Amino acid sequence: MTNFKKTLVAVLAAAAAGAAGFAGAAEIRVPVAGKSTEQLHADIVKAAASACWSDLRGEPLAGYIYPECVRRSVARAVAQVGNTELASYAARTPTTLSYAAR
């Protein structure tokens, strides 16, 4: 992935948190320099999982909202990068969630 900016600043939980009515949105910087498409996607998923869990922890319905938060956050971050190779990879790679990622 040669045409990326050095760092992607993704407001990873903003879309899902805003839709769910939560005020906070975590911002996590994901370095992109020198990473393969697969590694960058994995890092974005990990950052989204962390940001969503941070925003939703303690909410009564967190277990139900968390997966959608991560999916929306990953989609938003991938769109923010604007790289067709990453977008194509993300489209064919489902976002798998594990509560261990928190």
Domain segments of the chain as ranges: 7-95
For residue 49, CA distances in Å to 1, 5, 34 come to 23, 22, 22
Would you write out the chain's pLDDT as a tens digit for each of its 102 residues?
A: 444 554 555 444 444 444 444 445 667 888 888 899 999 999 999 998 888 888 888 888 888 888 888 888 899 889 988 889 999 999 998 876 655 444
pTM of the model: 0.72
For residue 12, CA distances in Å to 2, 4, 54, 55 come to 23, 18, 11, 10
Query: Given this model, what pLDDT does residue 61 score?
Result: 85
Place of tokens 């009564």: 60
* In contact, 72 and 55? CB cutoff 8 Å: no
* In contact, 77 and 30? CB cutoff 8 Å: yes
CA–CA distance, 58 with 64 (Å, rounded to integer) = 12
